[in-house]
Amino acid sequence: MSWNFETEPEFQAKLDWADEFVRNEVEPLDLLFPDEAFTPLDERKRKIVDPLKEEVRRQKLWATHLGPELGGEGHGQLKLALLNEILGRSSWAPIVFGCQAPDTGNAEIIAHYGTAEQKEKYLQPLLNGECFSSYSMTEPHAGSDPTMFKTQAVRDGDEWVINGWKFFSSNAKTASFLIVMVVTNPEVSAYQGMSMFLVPTDTPGVNVVRNVGLGYEAEGEGTHALIHYEDVRVPADAMLGDEGQAFAAAQVRLGGGRIHHAMRTIGLAQKAMDMMCERALSRETQGSLLADKQFVQGFIADSYAQLVQFRLFVLYVAWSIDKYNDYRRVRKDIATAKVIMPTVLHDIAWRAMQVHGALGVTNEMPFFKMILGGGVMGLADGPTEVHKVTVARQVLRGYSPSDDLWPTQHIPKLREAARAKYADFLEHEVGNL
């Protein structure tokens, strides 16, 4: 039997290296170039970032989750989880290590469904860190229910013509290509009638109407695009996977994406926890350290309990993905991690902010962004409520209804059965009284 919670020493050495490297070399980029991690590198940034990426490659930690045939190290999801909880502290670190969202999920879907030509054209540059990608699925009128999507592609000779609107296509403004999910057959159910296309962002008719920002970003300066696809013509071989296969492909795309978010969230929540503890040990009021106040101790204990449960669960899910190599088989647990994630990040960041007093709510500390991050994690790749529905449905599959009026565990019924089982013994005991 093998069941332990230790990291093998060789990989632990790599994690230790990554921890120091991210702290010393990468986290400063978050301060120098905040919110620019997904901007294509200019000459100035290249001078800093390219050598960092080279160093990661030398350490054999570039795109660790992908197999060597795709330019990665083939370490799998569990090792990626351990690495990602280090990278999650920094918005630049996933880029420097070749495993940033949404590109990891997009890379997985192309690796899984792409033709040899598509892999060469789109996947290779993506994995080499030469370009960014965007996933274009949500529409302005519908997000969590993909059966309501209207954006359509119509076949015209050797081409498909795409028309419609998409909303919240993250990083479209810097992406070289989009993976667009559209209706190709409105006559059948959406589960059979939708397909995916690889569309270069500079294709005529791909109109980025505006880039929506998150709460703390200036209006118009965000990275989530509202896109009008207006008579966008793509060749037939731009289809990713088979016609009508978009739903199945989306599960591959989103399954990986969701658990990668959870891995990085561990790192961010740990960072909030670290700040809370440091402050509790540094600040004195009313005769004692904050660390000695029971309310603050409660914050710390509750945060530790939430974080450690979340972390172990995410590692378990990553291990399960490696074991079964099938996202569908681990769907319930990926959805569960997705459900837990927003609350863990929100709660720990909120408590850390509170412990910092007025300083905590200023733009001199990162708590607002972290707390909003909790909200974002409750929506990106599907809202919490929908994932709860998935979890409940999957859990219920393991059960069946009671076959009579009373529940199986109804005590009078069980007692009667127990009496019947041991009737001989009970008669004998009574006879000896």
Query: Given the rule CB under 6 A, which residues bind ligand FAD?
Result: 102, 135-138, 142-144, 168-170, 224, 376, 379-383, 385-386, 389
Closer to ligand FAD by Cβ: residue 289 or 372? 372
CB of 72 to ligand FAD, least distance (A): 22
Query: Dihedrals φ, ψ of 109, to 5°?
Result: -65, -40
Closest residue (Cβ) to ligand FAD?
Answer: 143
Query: Dihedrals φ, ψ of 167, to 5°?
Result: -130, 145
Residues sharing a CB contact under 8 Å with residue 149, sequence separation 6 or more, in sequence order = 137, 139, 142, 181, 182, 183, 190, 194
Largest Cα–Cα separation, the chain: 96
CB of 185 to ligand FAD, least distance (A): 20
CB of 141 to ligand FAD, least distance (A): 8
Closer to ligand FAD by Cβ: residue 136 or 303? 136
Closer to ligand FAD by Cβ: residue 238 or 380? 380
CB of 137 to ligand FAD, least distance (A): 3
Closer to ligand FAD by Cβ: residue 149 or 327? 149
CB of 102 to ligand FAD, least distance (A): 5
CB of 213 to ligand FAD, least distance (A): 10
Closer to ligand FAD by Cβ: residue 100 or 303? 100
Closer to ligand FAD by Cβ: residue 389 or 417? 389
CB of 376 to ligand FAD, least distance (A): 4
CB of 292 to ligand FAD, least distance (A): 39
Closer to ligand FAD by Cβ: residue 50 or 385? 385
Show the tokens assigned to 105: 């999920």
Residue positions counted in the chain: 433
CB of 241 to ligand FAD, least distance (A): 17
CB of 135 to ligand FAD, least distance (A): 4
Closer to ligand FAD by Cβ: residue 75 or 261? 261
Distance from C-alpha of 191 to C-alpha of 179, rounded to nearest angstrom: 18
Closer to ligand FAD by Cβ: residue 85 or 381? 381
Q: Mapped to the 3 state alphabet, what secondary structure does the chain carry?
A: CCCCCCCCHHHHHHHHHHHHHHHHHHHHHHHHCCCCCCCCCCHHHHHHHHHHHHHHHHCCCCCCCCCHHHCCCCCHHHHHHHHHHHHCCCCCHHHHCCCCCCHHHHHHHHHHHCCHHHHHHHHHHHHCCCCCEEEECCECCECCCHHHCCCEEEEECCEEEEEEEEEEEECCCCCCEEEEEEECCCCCCHHHHEEEEEEECCCCCEEEEEEECCCCCCCCCCCEEEEEEEEEEEEHHHEECCCCCHHHHHHHHHHHHHHHHHHHHHHHHHHHHHHHHHHHHHCEECCEEHHHCHHHHHHHHHHHHHHHHHHHHHHHHHHHHHHHCCHHHHHHHHHHHHHHHHHHHHHHHHHHHHHCHHHHCCCCCCHHHHHHHHHHHCCCCCCHHHHHHHHHHHHHCCCCCCCCCCCCCCHHHHHHHHHHHCHHHHHHHHHHC
Closer to ligand FAD by Cβ: residue 115 or 140? 140
